[in-house]
């Protein structure tokens, strides 16, 4: 049987928001890429799986693969630089000049090879990714992602206003033709792990006509959608000016069928979502990709994640590279906790800080739901796992497994500490 085995180690996951479940030296059955239960020892494993190959991780920590719900592949090239701006200036001065380079497919091939190798080495097993407006370069990005073994959605970006001429679609009909070409071509390539996603960059760079066209294509091909929402005060003001008919920012997408309801939609940020917008996010089943590093770097603010969760809104985490400087979702987990502490302290004393187990849930099962049954080791979930060896972190005091897990995440052991990684049962590291 392909992708079938028993993995033995210290199994850690968060089957429910806020509840961390840890099983010491236990076994998970992975059958055809799907979890079939956690057992204390091999003798308890159901007969039909007992003869499977055993992968022994020793004293390693086994946790679900991390899900990055929001990352920009072309911005990986300048990560950790150009961080002294707010969103709209940062786009003009740092981001757009870099994205222009992706008209050159040779440059794109080099940059996307580095990007996909970077993600492969980290703890991320699934990602929702922005490319640029260029069809051929974005297909190169898909080739690289497919080769990495990660499972991803990749979008060709669309913009037809408020962008440099090199990044502005010549007309709505050309943008529509390009997006169709991108989808058709990606299907022809027969990827197993890489799928297209409809990607209006954000309302300031997309006219109503363009969004209407994208809404039509979304429906026709039944594809998910990714974009940005209520991120920065200057941006929110600009949207109100550009789209006076829209009741609120998210309504500008919803009018064109690009805000959940029928297909899955993930919107990054939602920092300035009004109560009406939050209600629409909930009603339409839109995911929020919470990207705390980017929100700090671009001085955007702090998203009311506790409020989202109390309301029942679906939330996952994103690195938002290069607004965020690191592609580590471990880092996003700890940033989420830290900004929630500040939100509670400075903004809303009724919105309690997020705990480690809650933030880890967002990074795994929370965002994983965008891909289906992903982000947990419960029966029936796709087997995405990261195995960590934390023996390099020495301590004189005895630590519980919970301590070790928390420490590994806080100290960002998602580089040198990863000894194995699986996505949908396939070993990719």
Binding site for Zn ion (CB under 5 A): 268, 320
**C-alpha span between 166 and 133 (Å, rounded):** 9
Residue whose C-beta lies closest to Zn ion: 320
Q: Which residue has the tokens 């990602």?
A: 127
- Altogether, the residues listed in the chain come to a count of 429
Nearer to Zn ion (CB atom), residue 159 or residue 268:
268
Smallest distance from the beta carbon of 427 to Zn ion, in angstroms?
30
Nearer to Zn ion (CB atom), residue 39 or residue 202:
202
Nearer to Zn ion (CB atom), residue 315 or residue 357:
315
Smallest distance from the beta carbon of 322 to Zn ion, in angstroms?
9
Smallest distance from the beta carbon of 268 to Zn ion, in angstroms?
5
Nearer to Zn ion (CB atom), residue 14 or residue 336:
336
Nearer to Zn ion (CB atom), residue 111 or residue 268:
268
Q: Which residue has the tokens 């550009």?
A: 242
**C-alpha span between 116 and 73 (Å, rounded):** 8
Strands 34-39 and 19-31, by their bridges, are antiparallel
Smallest distance from the beta carbon of 185 to Zn ion, in angstroms?
24
**C-alpha span between 329 and 408 (Å, rounded):** 12
Backbone angles phi, psi at 162, to 5 degrees: 50, 40
Smallest distance from the beta carbon of 323 to Zn ion, in angstroms?
6
Strands 426-427 and 418-423, by their bridges, are antiparallel
**C-alpha span between 243 and 241 (Å, rounded):** 6
Nearer to Zn ion (CB atom), residue 320 or residue 327:
320
Q: Give the H or E element holding residue 60.
A: strand 54-64
Nearer to Zn ion (CB atom), residue 10 or residue 132:
132
**C-alpha span between 60 and 22 (Å, rounded):** 12
Q: DSSP states of 161-228 as a string?
A: SSS-GGGS-S-HHHHHHHHHHHHHHHHHTT-SSEEE-BEE--GGG--HHHHHHHHHHHHHHT--EEEE
Angle of helix 105-121 relative to helix 135-148, nearest 10 degrees? Answer: 30
Smallest distance from the beta carbon of 244 to Zn ion, in angstroms?
25
């Amino acid at each position: 049987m392909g992708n079938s085995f028993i993995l033995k180690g210290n199994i850690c996951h968060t089957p429910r928001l806020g509840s961390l479940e840890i099983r010491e030296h236990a076994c998970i059955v992975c059958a055809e890429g799907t979890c079939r239960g956690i057992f204390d020892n091999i003798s308890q494993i159901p007969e039909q799986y007992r003869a499977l190959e055993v992968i022994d991780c020793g004293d390693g920590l086994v946790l679900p693969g991390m899900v990055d719900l929001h990352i920009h592949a072309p911005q990986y090239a300048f990560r950790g630089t150009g961080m002294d701006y707010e969103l709209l200036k940062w786009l003009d001065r740092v981001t757009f000049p870099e994205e222009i380079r992706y008209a050159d497919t040779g440059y794109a091939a080099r940059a996307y090879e580095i990007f996909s190798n970077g993600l492969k080495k980290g703890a991320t097993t699934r990602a929702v990714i922005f490319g640029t407006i260029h069809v051929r370069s974005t297909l190169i990005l898909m080739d690289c992602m497919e080769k990495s073994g990660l499972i991803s959605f990749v979008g060709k970006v669309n913009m037809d206003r408020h962008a440099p001429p090199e990044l502005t679609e010549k007309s709505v009909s050309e943008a529509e033709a390009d997006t169709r070409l991108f989808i058709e071509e990606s299907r022809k390539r027969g990827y197993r792990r890489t799928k297209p996603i409809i990607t209006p960059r954000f309302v300031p760079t997309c006219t109503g006509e363009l969004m209407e066209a994208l809404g039509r294509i979304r429906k026709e091909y039944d594809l998910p959608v990714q974009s940005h929402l209520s991120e920065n005060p200057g941006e929110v003001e600009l949207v109100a000016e550009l789209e006076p008919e829209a009741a609120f920012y998210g309504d500008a997408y919803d009018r064109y069928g690009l805000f959940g309801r029928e297909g899955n939609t993930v919107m990054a940020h939602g920092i300035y979502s009004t109560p009406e917008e939050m209600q629409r996010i909930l009603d339409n089943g839109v995911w929020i990709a919470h990207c705390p590093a980017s929100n700090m770097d671009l001085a955007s603010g702090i998203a009311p994640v506790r409020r989202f969760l109390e309301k029942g809104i679906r939330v996952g985490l994103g690195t938002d590279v290069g607004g965020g400087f690191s592609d580590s979702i471990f880092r996003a987990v700890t940033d989420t906790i830290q900004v929630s502490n500040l939100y509670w302290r400075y903004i809303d004393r009724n919105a309690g800080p997020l705990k480690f187990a809650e933030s880890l849930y967002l990074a795994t099962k929370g965002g994983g739901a965008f891909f289906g049954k992903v982000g947990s080791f419960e029966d029936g979930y796709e087997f995405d796992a990261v195995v960590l060896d934390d023996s390099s972190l020495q301590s004189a005091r005895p630590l519980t497994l919970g301590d070790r897990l928390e420490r590994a995440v806080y100290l960002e052991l998602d580089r040198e500490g990863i000894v194995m990684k699986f996505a949908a049962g396939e070993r990719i590291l």
